[in-house]
Copies of this chain bind each other. A is one copy, B any other.
Amino acid sequence: MKTTLSNRTKVKRLSDRGHYDRETIHAILDEALVCHVGFVVDGQPYVIPTGFARIGDDLFIHGSSASRMLRNLATGVDVCITVTLIDGLVLARSAFHHSINYRSVVIVGKAKLVEDAHEKSKLLEAFTEHMIPGRWAEVRWPTELELKATSVLKLPIEEASAKIRRGDPKDDEEDYVMDVWAGVLPLYMKTGHPVPDKKLQDGLEVPGYVSEYRRNAF
């Protein structure tokens, strides 16, 4: 199933990099940890990084009810949410053709406030599980007060597109004979050793979903 073809999200430059099927878009969203939210206040654009979650064909962001960004978006203004994964450096023989392998998604639309307390609670589960699957079952769940202090916004993944660059550099034909190493240097997100909280209770082992955490296929 595809997203709505829109002049606002159609990939124009290097259009063969554009993708509009939900499977591709969802996979990129589910791998990313943060999105960049763009909104306009008095003509000035702002771009703010924040966590998010996806459920079906909707994307959700959340934050303090006191947040300037969330209060602004909740009024139903136009928003652009962009997610980017970096996959590698593309090292061409010419400076001009250097590039980055990446997968990105751009979604535009109007965000709406989620007001229902039950739905908000389910969404806080989704935020936690988006960050680290397996965590929700172990932690203290939000109180009524915490739910009130949290604003959640919903953006339909409808006017959306993905853009992907992968594979070898594309050099000019006459440059292929150059004695310059060319190729791709893959980059990916890796975990370090878990650092226990200084106030951790004695005898608690690192859970498997933490020690085995992987954000991607590598």
Contact flag A195-B178 (CB < 8 Å), given A80-B45, A93-B140, A146-B96: no
Contacts of A43 in B (CB 8 A): 40, 78
Interface residues of A in 51-101 (CB under 8 A from B): 51, 63-64, 66-68, 78-82, 84, 86, 88-89, 91-96, 98, 100
Contacts of A175 in B (CB 8 A): 140
Instruction: Decide if the interface of chain A is mainly helix, strand, loop or mixed.
Output: mixed
Question: Complex Cα distance A12/B63, Å?
Answer: 13
User: What is the interface size of chain A, counting residues whose CB is below 8 A from a CB of the partner?
Assistant: 97
CB <8 Å contact, A82 and B176: no
* Interface check A180, CB cutoff 8 A: yes
Copy total for this chain: 2
CB <8 Å contact, B33 and A86: yes
CB <8 Å contact, A193 and B186: yes
Contact flag A190-B188 (CB < 8 Å), given A46-B106, A94-B140: yes
Among B46, B95, B182, B195, point to the contact of A197 (Cβ < 8 A): B182
- Nearest 9 A/B pairs, CB to CB: A186-B192, A38-B47, A38-B45, A190-B190, A47-B82, A49-B84, A94-B140, A36-B36, A182-B197
Known contacts A46-B106, A46-B108; 10 additional CB pairs below 8 A are A36-B36, A47-B80, A49-B84, A95-B142, A138-B180, A168-B199, A184-B197, A188-B189, A188-B190, A190-B190
Could you pull out 15 A-B pairs where Cβ atoms are within 8 angstroms? A12-B68, A13-B66, A37-B47, A38-B46, A44-B78, A47-B47, A51-B100, A94-B142, A96-B146, A100-B131, A132-B185, A185-B194, A185-B195, A188-B190, A192-B218
